[in-house]
Amino acid sequence: MRRWLLVPLALVLASCAAVPKAPPAPAAPMAAPPDAGEGLVRLAESWAESGSHDKAVALFKEVAKDPSSPVADRALLGLTRSLCNPEYAEHDYRQAFLVADRLVREYPASQYAVEARAWRELLLGYLARSRELERRTMELEQTAIEQERQTQELERLKGVDLELERRTRELQKRTQELERLKRVDAELERRTQELERLKRLDLELEQRKRKP
């Protein structure tokens, strides 16, 4: 009875020993080292959130210098946001437009491209209105300059008119004085002629008295 039980057990053990061992599991792939640019972008984003846009802008620009960086598009978006933030003392909407446009052109498949397009359209409209405002401001300035020039010319002409009026009055006075002197001369000439006539009469009378 015991031998019958031992035979199957021996067969089972033999079969187990004949089963080949499973190959060892492949080693898990090593994780890729973290990108240094991602850490810089995260730091720049934290600075931007805290209001230190000058530091954030410098870091965003540093990361965006390398177009092959996996976070270059993210850095460009962060740079666009900071350049548009009115709290940033050196905010520059024209530069922000160029940055957003670069993101859209160089990384069209980026997850940040949609927001970059929105920024680009918004900034394009703003810059167009700014140029129109600058044009109108220049026109107004030119108009104001022209009005000032015309005002100065009017004042100059008023001064000329006053001087002309003064000289006209002076000329009238001189003319009147000249007319008066002419009348005086005429009266003197008349009296001179009358005196000459009287002298001739006196001579005639004297001659008559002398005749016997």
Question: Is residue 142, in this structure, part of any structural domain at all?
Answer: no
More confident residue, 95 or 6: 95
User: Does the structure show a pLDDT above 80 at 13?
Assistant: no
Question: Is residue 201, in this structure, part of any structural domain at all?
Answer: no
Average pLDDT, the chain: 81
pLDDT in tens, 143-154: 778 888 887 887
pLDDT in tens, 167-208: 878 888 887 888 888 888 888 888 888 888 888 888 888 777
Question: Is residue 46, in this structure, part of any structural domain at all?
Answer: yes
> What CATH number should be reported for the domain holding residue 42?
1.25.40.10
Quote the domain boundaries for residue 116.
Answer: 36-130
As for how many domains the chain has, the answer is 1
Cα distance between residue 207 and residue 211, in whole Å: 7
Question: Is residue 105, in this structure, part of any structural domain at all?
Answer: yes
Q: What is the pLDDT of residue 200?
A: 84
pLDDT > 90: what percent of the chain?
A: 43
User: CB–CB of 100/116 below 8 Å?
Assistant: yes
Question: Is residue 26, in this structure, part of any structural domain at all?
Answer: no
pLDDT in tens, 34-62: 567 899 999 999 999 999 999 999 999 99
Question: Is residue 99, in this structure, part of any structural domain at all?
Answer: yes
Give the pLDDT band of residue 122 (cuts 50, 70, 90).
Answer: very high
